[in-house]
Amino acid sequence: MKILVIHQVPYRKMSYHLGLDHDRHEVTYIGYPQRMADLPAELRCRRIELTEGEDLVEGVTARVSPRDGFEKLLSLSEFGILQAWHIRRHLGLAGPSLEQIERVRDKVSMKQALADSGIRHPRFEPAPAPCDALPWTGRTVIKPRQGASSEGVTLHDTAREALTAYWKLDDRLDFQLEEYIDGDILHIDGLVSDGTPGDLVVSRYINKPVEYLDGHVIASHQIPDPHGRFRHFAEQVVKALEIESGCVHLELFETAEGELVFLEIANRMGGAGVVNAHLGHTGVHLPSHEIAIRLGLERPAPAEPSGRYHGWLVVPGHHLGTRGHTITVPEAVRQHPAIDALHVLAPEQPLPDHITYHEWLVPVFIEASHADAGELAAFFRECARTITVEPAPAGG
């Protein structure tokens, strides 16, 4: 099979070689210089490098054509799904429709598609008129209609304050207003094949993704789903949004009363430590299985599950500036039996200047597991309480 890969996600996150036989198939990678540089030198493939800063769709379509004979296109990035639609049209390849893509990329379209499904979701307003009031009065979120990692999200104490902030935005049409839902945030990760979700794993966040923007630690740990309540919710969402294939990363609220409320969904694998946690708990390597599903290949045999609940914790550094820093990880954390991997930024490495969850860029990243989900959660809370990152004094 002749395959074109739009290479946007770091190779160490995708490990394409685990799911794609490069000796059996004719694989071409195309992408920007920084990303292409992380392809393993020994990987058998053709490589096409774009010019830094050029439009991805224009760059790809200028370099490949239907005459090249590509049979499949792989684009597994959150940000490449829409671009891939244009490139598939250029190459004459089948794939999801623009409407299907919007339902998993645009946070307004996905909630509109749930309108008659019976699935509760936050009330929202994509384009209020200048004199309109919102149909709720309390805490309100302004968030981009598209995007990931909670970038651009702001929280306001009242609907009136949110509207005032909304009208000050120059690019307000790219944003929506949404009522704040009070509750824990969970995420469900798995795979969809022929419209049927499977290999679903439920995890609960410690702190919320939006709090990570302000410098709070975020963690996630898997939890049991003995009665299938969360799995059933995910199945309903996948069916309502007509997701046909690939990874899904579904985020939802669980209120104090136990009600489940849809937050958003992405038709790609989750970030941070989701892939390794999922692999440990289920034996399923999400990227490899997604590649097989999207290419119509036989899925790899899963590894042996660990029999434990897995999770991850990230200590941010983007809010501290890039100058020197001091990281303190207590010895009790370093030696804890739940620890599977501990990544600590080297003193000579600068703190990240942007929001990231990559373990090789953040000050501290922990992967851990335990036979008891509650014990794992308690360990992560202790980590969040005791691990510190202090920037060097100005002028120091």
Mention every residue, 6+ apart, whose C-beta is less than 8 A from residue 112: none
Domain at 2-95, CATH from 3.30.2320.30, 3.40.50.1400, 3.40.50.970, 3.40.50.20: 3.40.50.20
Cα–Cα distance between 174 and 169 in angstroms, integer?
9
Pairing of strands 339-344, 388-391: unpaired
Chain CA centroid to CA 158, Å:
29
Cα–Cα distance between 227 and 64 in angstroms, integer?
50
pLDDT for 149 equals: 63
Give the other-Cβ count within 10 Å of 173's Cβ.
10
Q: How confident is the model at residue 394 (pLDDT cuts 50, 70, 90)?
A: low
Give the other-Cβ count within 10 Å of 247's Cβ.
25
Domain at 184-391, CATH from 3.40.50.720, 3.30.565.10, 3.30.450.20, 3.30.470.20: 3.30.470.20
Cα–Cα distance between 396 and 391 in angstroms, integer?
10
For the cut 80, the answer to whether the pLDDT of residue 93 exceeds it is yes
pLDDT per position as a tens digit, 101-125: 999 999 999 999 998 899 999 999 9
pLDDT per position as a tens digit, 234-287: 999 999 999 999 999 999 999 999 999 999 999 999 999 999 999 999 999 999
* Token pair for 16: 């394409």
Cα–Cα distance between 304 and 284 in angstroms, integer?
9
Angle, nearest 10°, between helix axes 81-91 and 56-63?
A: 30
Cα–Cα distance between 185 and 263 in angstroms, integer?
9
DSSP 8-class letter at 311: E
pLDDT for 396 equals: 47
Mention every residue, 6+ apart, whose C-beta is less than 8 A from residue 201: 188, 189, 190, 222, 277, 278, 281, 282
Looking at the DSSP assignment, which residues form a beta bridge with residue 293? none
pLDDT per position as a tens digit, 132-151: 889 999 999 999 988 666 67
Residues of the chain with CATH 3.30.470.20: 184-391
Residues of the chain with CATH 3.40.50.20: 2-95
